[in-house]
Amino acid sequence: MTDRLDGLSMDIEAENKARLQAVFPECFTEGKLDIDKLLSLCGEYITDDFEKYEFKWKGKSECLRLAQRRSTATLRPCPSESVHFDTTQNLYIEGDNLEVLKLLQKSYFRKVKMIYTDPPYNTGSDFVYEDDFADPMRRYLEVTAQATKSNPETMGRYHTNWLNMMYPRLRLAANLLRDDGGIFISIDDNEVANLRKLCDEVFGEENFIAQLIWERAYAPKNDAKYISNSHDYILMYAKAIENFQIGRLPRTEEANARYQNPDNDPRGVWKPSDMSVKTYNAECDYPITTPSGRVIEPPTGRCWSLSKKAFLERLQDNRIYFGADGNSVPCIKRFLTELKYDGMAPTSLMFYKDVGHSQEGAKEVTALLEAGAFDGPLSARHPRRQPRPHRRAVLEGEGHHAGAPCADQRPERPCPAARSDPGRNGPCLAAAPRRGHNGSDRCLQNAADSGQHQGRRAHDVHARRVGRDRQDQQVNTIYAQ
């Protein structure tokens, strides 16, 4: 006899409790958690001093309860509005993103490799709404149909409203990440400080990787009151930093040009590396005699990076270079063939010449749909240059960032979010409202991938009419393996 489905989303509280009880069974009495005993087992003993460092705002506790409240909503497939319904490995979901994140818990709990989210920046004109859990879908349709309410600083709960919207969604997103997964969050100066503290709490400050800076504008705004702001941020966190591996960028001709071979070393091209360091060590403070007979001491306040023994070993192995005339300050030869990693490490600065700017993204969207179809679209080059979890070419093909969903009038061009990519090992899950072609309120939805996910297609995707303003809703792109 088969078990009956209860029609509810995953019980996150019960799951957390079961995992905690498996590790600390002595902290449970008659099914209740003894928090004092748990703290003492972790070396945190109860004192009378309740003052501690913490990030608090009004409504935080309620946000945690709401995030863990089970949902009775259902995700339904829309074959008639999909592209390549039976063969695509991608998933495009439209709906209230908090409810969608809850419904994804059962199927994708701790299975997602990467999440990218582009939330409202809280600029004062963004729509930051309060969650209505009595009827979340009705609330979603209401706010996406009429984007008239803003969140100005004069409200008095300017940051509070934004934090109350973000906190439960980030907690649910964290549940989806695998142990080797990571999350990327776009933001600007308005909330980057609060978002950093929020992510430190949700993901752990030890799992912070980088705060990337994207040069989104190529021309200064001369009408700026103080400073012409030309950049946005992307916060990058790992689920568990010890398991996280990052991909690397292909080497450029410019980078390879720094390597030469002036002494015709059979090991190939190399570049010189300074032999002196600031950290003083008496064992590394010694004179070096060049082949020309010149005696060289370390620069004032510095010493050599190698001990005398290590220096002589490298000298014997032809890894020390004194210049073409044998009279220059010695340097260490670093060979291109002996680099520790293939490719180049991503940098925290993302220049528009490499990743594109907002105007470039707008032109790409206009070529697919119409001018102004999306507010602030990213160039297709932007996600391809972001540092990504190792061995996964993800963050490509989602409607907002690879252009836009293709409209019904162009069936021969599959929607980027729906396009099947054989180079990817997992589906793309996107939850966002989108405008259709020529401003029509339509959204191309994509059914679950075939094969292993075919049995739960009815649970995995749901379509609704789309809202009129991109900035009203948070955009989530989730990649699962």
Would you call 252 exposed, middle or buried from its count of C-beta atoms within 10 A (0-12, 13-18, 19+)? Answer: exposed
Q: What is the largest CA-CA distance in the chain?
A: 91
What does the alpha-carbon distance between residue 481 and residue 130 come to, in Å, rounded to a whole number?
Answer: 33
> For position 412, what pLDDT does the model report?
30
Tens digits of residue pLDDT in 137-194:
565 555 555 344 556 555 557 788 899 999 999 999 999 999 999 999 999 999 999 9
Q: Are 453 and 460 in contact (CB under 8 A)?
A: yes
Q: Are 441 and 480 in contact (CB under 8 A)?
A: no
Measured CA angle at 426 (ends 233, 115), to 5 deg: 20
> For position 305, what pLDDT does the model report?
95
Q: Are 83 and 418 in contact (CB under 8 A)?
A: yes
> For position 129, what pLDDT does the model report?
57
Tens digits of residue pLDDT in 297-317:
999 989 999 999 999 999 999
> For position 230, what pLDDT does the model report?
87
Residues pairing with 93 in the sheet: 431
Tens digits of residue pLDDT in 57-73:
999 988 888 888 888 88
Q: Are 118 and 151 in contact (CB under 8 A)?
A: no
Would you call 267 exposed, middle or buried from its count of C-beta atoms within 10 A (0-12, 13-18, 19+)? Answer: middle
Q: Are 476 and 132 in contact (CB under 8 A)?
A: no
Q: Are 230 and 352 in contact (CB under 8 A)?
A: no
Q: Are 90 and 417 in contact (CB under 8 A)?
A: yes
CA proximity to 207, closest of 238, 243, 234, 184: 238
Structure tokens at 288: 């070096």
> For position 82, what pLDDT does the model report?
86
Ramachandran quadrant class, 102 (left: phi over 0; alpha: psi -120 to 50; beta: rest): alpha
> For position 186, what pLDDT does the model report?
92
Q: Are strands 295-296 and 331-335 parallel, antiparallel or unpaired?
A: unpaired
Which residue positions in the chain have pLDDT lower than 50?
A: 133, 146-148, 390-428, 431-481
> For position 148, what pLDDT does the model report?
41
Structure tokens at 384: 């391809």
Measured CA angle at 432 (ends 429, 434), to 5 deg: 120
CA proximity to 333, closest of 343, 345, 346, 319: 319
SS3 361: helix
- If you compute the radius of gyration of the chain from its CA atoms, what whole number of angstroms results? 27
